[in-house]
A = this chain, B = another copy of it.
C-alpha cells in the first residue's frame, strides 16, 4: 500500500536549492553525496549564479524546472527559506527537507520564521522536514539527501553486509542518527533508512517512526529521541509497531537535570519527563538502550537471528576464562545457563581433548577447534531442545584464519532455529568480520552488550501488547468534589466513592458531640485524623492518632488533634476529624496518578512505606490500564515477592489490587482535564480474597 511519505523517502526527482560547486561546503557536499551514492532519479540543481554544476544543468529558480519534483532539498540562508518554500509549493513540489539552520533553535524572530513554515505546510499540503535537519539516507533507493560525512563513499571500499534484514534509524539529532548508522554498518547491519528530524516544523519523529513501521524493507527500528512533539502520531506508530511485531530500539536522552537543561535550550524541544517515556516504551514493548554500541548490538542480533523460545543459553568458547566470563555475563542478565544433559555432553566431548569441558560453558579448547569440535557443538546445540540460544565466545583477531568454515556454518545460521550470537574477546579483524558476514553472522565486540542483547531478545519474545481498555463509558461529573486545589483526605475519599471506588466507612466529626455516634457506628479500635485542605501531610503536624481503644481516648485524641493543628498551622481551615476503624493488616502499597506534559495521564504503583523513596521501586504506565496490565505492573516490582507469600506470609489479594489500579487509572484518564494527581498511600493489600483498604488518599485538582 502506498504511503504519503513514499515520495519523500523514494523521490523520482530531487531539486537541490542552493546547490554549489564548492565541495568543501555543505551545499556542494549535498550534491556530491547524492551522486556518489548513485541516486537513480533526476537531480535539478537550483542556483541563480551557475549555468551548470558538475555536468548538470543548473536552474535559476524552482519554477524554471518545469518538471514534477518529488523532493526539494533546501540549503540557503534562513531568511530566504520561506520565500523559496512558497515557490516550491506553487511549483507543485511534494516534499521539502530544510537543511538550513537559524530558526526555532535561535529563538526570537528566527522562531517566528519557523512558525511561518509550519503554517505554510498546513496551508499547502507540502510536507516539510526540518529546518535545521541533517537530512536522510535511503539505502534501499540510494537517496543520500544529507551532508553527513558518514554517507561518503570511499573508492574501493566494499561495505560489510552480514544481515538480510534491515534496520531503519529515526533520530531527532542528525549527528547521532548518522553515528548510529556509521556503527551499525561497521558491524555489517544492513540499513534501510537513516533520517534526522531537525526542528520538526511539519514532519516529526513520530511520523517518521510510522513510516518505518509500515515499510516492508525495514525489519528493526533504531530510534533516538530528545522529546516527542507529534505525540499522537508517535503513539499510533508505537501501537502499530507493537501489533505488527516490528522491534523498536529506543534511546531517550534528557534524562538528567543537565541533559534536560540542554534539551530545552538547544533543540527547542520539550525534553519531557523520562518516567512517562519509559512507561510508554514499556507499554509498547520498545527496547530501551541508552548506550550507542549496545543499541546497535541489539539491532545486530535482531537482524540476524530469530527470537528465542526461552531463556536457556549455551555458552561455547575456545578459552576457559572467556567462557566463564560469558556465562557470568549471561547469567547476570537473568538468563539461564543450564548444565547440559549427559547425553549431549557425551556427544560434544567426542571431538574435545580431555581438558575440554562440555557442561556449559562448553570449552572446546584451541585443540578442539582443529578437530571440528566448535562446529560440531554448534550443530548439536542448534538442534537440541536443551537450550534456546547460543553465545559463542571466540578470539577473532587473526587476519588470515577463522575457526569456522563458511560452508559448514552458513547453513546453521540460515536455518534460524535459534539465536546464535558471536563475540570476540580480542578485537575482531576485518577479515573475520567479513568471513562471518558471508555466513550471515555479526561479530560483537562487547560482551556486556552481547549479554544485554540476548536478554532483550528474550524479553521481546515474551512481550504481549496489553489489550486496549474500554473507556467509552461517560465519565461521571465529579466537579462538586473539586472545590479546592488540594482535597483533604475526606474529600478525596468522597470523590473516589463517587467514582465507584470502594473506600472504608469513616465518619467526619466536626463537633465533639458527634463522636458518640461515630463510636456506635464503627466500634473499637479507632483511628482519628485531622482534616484540612491546607494540611496535606497530617503526620507532620501531629494530626494522626491510631489504636484508640476507649471512649475516653477518643475524646482526648479529638482535642489533641485540633490543638496540634491550630498550634502548627494557625491559618489552616479545619474541616474536622475523620474517625475510622483500624485497618486489617496487609502489604503496604502506594498507587498514584499524575499528568505528564507530553503523554498525559500516568498510573504508578510501588511498594509503600520508606522503601518507595529509598529504593525507587515503582512502575509507571500510561493510563488507563486493564486489570491484566495492572497485574503485569505489579510483577515488575522488585518487591513483588511481598505480595506472593514471601517467607511463608499469606498470598496477598493481587486481583483486588489490580482492579483498584485499573479503576484509578481509568478515573485519571477520564478526568485528565480536572484532576492532575491522585495518590493512595498506603493501600493495604490483605490476604487473598480479603481485598484492599485505601488507608489514605489525596486528590489534586488540575490548575
**What chain B residues lie within 8 Å of A445 (beta carbons)?**
293
Known pairs A259-B328, A359-B262; A446 contacts B291 (CB<8 A): yes
Q: Which residue of B lies closest to A328 (CB)?
A: B259
Contact A425 B176 (CB under 8 A): yes
Instruction: Assess whether A484 is interfacial by the CB under 8 Å rule.
Output: no
Bound Cα distance from A174 to B427, whole angstroms: 15
User: Which residue of B is nearest A266, CB measured?
Assistant: B320
**Which chain B residues border A186 with CB–CB below 8 Å?**
427
User: How many Å lie between the Cα of A150 and that of B426 in the bound state?
Assistant: 8
Contact between chains at A610 and B398 (CB < 8 Å): no
CB of A294, distance to nearest CB on chain B (Å): 8
Contact with A179, one of B171, B257, B395, B446 (Cβ below 8 angstroms): B395
* Cβ contacts under 8 Å, A50 to chain B: none
Contact B611 A361 (CB under 8 A): no
Q: Mark A272-293, 1 if CB is under 8 A from B, else 0.
A: 0000000000000000001111
Contact indicator B360/A258 (Cβ below 8 Å) = yes
Q: Is the CB of B179 within 8 A of A426?
A: yes
Q: Does A553 contact B (CB under 8 A)?
A: no
Instruction: Check if B253 sits within 8 Å of A332, measured CB to CB.
Output: no
- Chain B residues, Cβ within 8 Å of A327: 256, 258-259, 261-262
Question: Cβ of A634 < 8 Å from any Cβ of B?
Answer: no
Q: Which of A27-35, A460-468, A594-602, A635-643 has 4 or more CB atoms under 8 Å from chain B?
A: A635-643
Does A614 sit within 8 A of B, measured CB to CB? yes
Alpha-carbon gap, A641 to B318, bound state (A) = 47
Minimum CB–CB distance for A320 against chain B, Å: 4
Q: Is A337 at the interface (CB under 8 A from chain B)?
A: yes
Known: A106-B355, A178-B426, A328-B253. A397 touches B321 (CB 8 A): no
Q: Are B324 and A253 in contact (CB under 8 A)?
A: yes
On chain B, the residues within 8 Å of A638 by CB distance are 614-615
Residues of B within 8 A of A323 (CB): 262, 266
Q: In this assembly, does A676 line the interface, its C-beta being within 8 Å of a C-beta of chain B? A: no
The yes or no answer to A535 lying at the interface (CB within 8 A) is no
**Contact pattern, A 326-342, Cβ under 8 Å of B = 1, otherwise 0:** 01111110000101000
Contact of A447 with B by CB under 8 A: yes
Known: A292-B425, A324-B253, A638-B615. A262 touches B540 (CB 8 A): no
A361 contact set on B, CB distance < 8 A: 258-259, 262
List, in ascending order, chain B residues with CB within 8 A of A642's CB: 610, 614
Query: Does A190 count as interface, using CB distance less than 8 angstroms?
Result: no
Say yes or no for A419: interface residue by CB 8 A criterion.
no
Cβ contact within 8 Å between A325 and B265: no
Known: A175-B322, A290-B329, A292-B447. A355 touches B101 (CB 8 A): yes
Copies in the complex: 2
Asked if A691 is at the interface (CB within 8 A of a chain B CB), the reply is: no
Across the interface, A226 reaches (CB within 8 A) one of B173, B321, B448, B641, namely: B321
Contact status of A325 and B261, CB under 8 A, knowing A291-B448, A610-B646: no
Question: From residue A389, how far is it (CB to closest CB) to chain B in Å?
Answer: 14
Nearest chain B CB to A445's CB is how many angstroms away? 8
Tell me whether chain A's interface is mostly helix, strand or loop, or mixed: helix
- Asked if residues A321 and B173 are in contact (CB atoms below 8 Å), the reply is yes
A253: B residues at CB distance < 8 A: 321, 324-325, 328
Q: Tell whether A233 is near chain B: CB-to-CB under 8 Å.
A: no
Structural contact, B427 and A183, CB atoms closer than 8 A: yes
* Docked complex Cα distance between A171 and B321 (Å): 9
Say yes or no: A425-B258 contact (C-beta < 8 A), given A447-B292, A638-B614: no
Q: Judge whether B540 and A648 touch: CB under 8 Å.
A: yes
The yes or no answer to A661 lying at the interface (CB within 8 A) is no
Is A254 positioned at the interface, with any CB of B under 8 Å from its CB?
yes
Q: Are B324 and A259 in contact (CB under 8 A)?
A: yes
Q: Which of A44-69 contact B (CB under 8 A)?
A: none
- Among B251, B267, B318, B331, which residue has its beta carbon within 8 angstroms of that of A259? B331
Instruction: Please determine whether A321 and B357 come into contact, CB atoms closer than 8 angstroms.
Output: no
A528-548 contacts to B (CB < 8 Å) = 540
- Selected from B149, B256, B641, the residue in CB contact (under 8 A) with A332 is B256
Task: Tell yes or no: A172 within 8 A of B by CB.
Answer: yes
Known contacts A293-B446, A321-B226, A615-B638; A258/B328 CB under 8 A: yes
Instruction: Pick the contact of A176: B265, B319, B617 (CB < 8 A).
Output: B319
B266–A425 CB distance below 8 A: no
Query: Which residues on the B side are within 8 Å of A293 (C-beta)?
Result: 445-446
Residue of B at shortest CB range from A315? B258
* CB of A105 within 8 Å of the partner chain: yes
Name the residue of chain B whose CB is nearest to the CB of A101.
Answer: B355
Give complex CA distance A261, B360 in Å.
8
- Does A363 have its Cβ within 8 Å of any Cβ on chain B? yes
Q: In angstroms, how far is the closest chain B Cβ from the Cβ of A387?
A: 12
Interface membership of A604, Cβ < 8 A: no
Contact status A328-B426, CB under 8 Å: no
Q: Is the CB of A261 within 8 A of B339?
A: yes
| A239 CB-CB contact with B under 8 Å | no
Q: Give Cα A207–Cα B280 distance, bound, in whole angstroms.
A: 53
CB of B173 within 8 A of CB of A319, answer yes
| A224 CB–B CB distance under 8 Å | yes
The residues of B that contact A331 with a CB separation of less than 8 Å are 255-259
Contacts of A321 in B (CB 8 A): 171-176, 224, 226, 253, 267
| A residues 361-413 touching B (CB-CB < 8 Å) | 361, 363, 395, 397-398
Q: Mark A141-157, 1 if CB is under 8 A from B, else 0.
A: 00000000110000000
Q: Mark A90-118, 1 if CB is under 8 A from B, else 0.
A: 00000000000110011000000000000
- Is A263 among interface residues, defined by CB-CB distance under 8 A? yes
A294 CA to B301 CA in the complex, in Å?
A: 21
The yes or no answer to A703 lying at the interface (CB within 8 A) is no
Tell me the bound Cα distance from A106 to B357 in angstroms: 10
Contact with B along A687-698 (1 / 0, CB 8 A): 000000000000
Counting from the closest, the 6 A-B pairs by CB-CB distance are A173-B321, A256-B331, A175-B319, A258-B337, A258-B327, A259-B328
Query: Contacts A174-B319, A186-B427, A266-B355 given; 14 further ones with Cβ under 8 A?
Result: A101-B355, A171-B321, A172-B321, A173-B321, A179-B425, A182-B426, A258-B337, A266-B323, A267-B321, A290-B325, A294-B448, A611-B615, A614-B641, A615-B617
Instruction: List 6 A-B residue pairs with CB atoms under 8 Å apart, sorted by A's residue number.
Output: A172-B321, A173-B320, A176-B325, A253-B324, A256-B337, A259-B327
